[in-house]
Amino acid sequence: MNTTHLHELLAEGDALLMEPRSQFDAAIVAVGWRFADGPVAVYDMDRVLAILAQDMGEDGAEEWFEYNVVGSWVGPATPIFIRPLDPAPADRTAALRYTPPAPEGTHEHPRPDGPARRRRSDPA
């Protein structure tokens, strides 16, 4: 989906967008729907925080964002804020194959269908 199509979808549903749009439109990553609501803007939380931090610093940006943005419900057109999985897969099938890294102190076990899986409960 290109940016023009994304903005057309958002305009159809009277989605609320963060202002100034010249800065925050770069943080829109998708269009979302909630039960009986939508389309709504979906923002990458880290991108929004980075934009806010330019003027407020990191701590100020996080505090302001949590209280004034995430802490607000302004009706069915309220945006959604996400923190994408890391690493973001290039395609949907890659997301199905992704195995998150195990915490330190675990042991690897080979998987028949892909990379090794680690389990915390295995003996040393």
User: pLDDT of 56-92, one tens digit each?
Assistant: 999 999 999 999 999 988 888 899 999 887 655 555 4
Q: What was the pLDDT predicted at 2?
A: 60
Q: What was the pLDDT predicted at 110?
A: 45
Q: What was the pLDDT predicted at 37?
A: 77
Instruction: Report the C-alpha gap between 24 and 18 in whole angstroms.
Output: 6
Q: Could you tell me if 41 and 65 lie in one domain?
A: yes
Q: Could you tell me if 58 and 112 lie in one domain?
A: no
Instruction: Report the C-alpha gap between 94 and 61 in whole angstroms.
Output: 33
Q: Could you tell me if 59 and 109 lie in one domain?
A: no
Q: Could you tell me if 109 and 58 lie in one domain?
A: no
Q: Could you tell me if 23 and 61 lie in one domain?
A: yes
Q: How many domains does the chain have?
A: 2
The pTM assigned to this predicted structure is: 0.63
Give CA separation, 41 vs 12, 27, 100, in Å. Answer: 11, 10, 28
User: pLDDT of 8-64, one tens digit each?
Assistant: 767 666 788 888 988 998 898 888 888 887 788 999 999 999 999 999 999 999 999
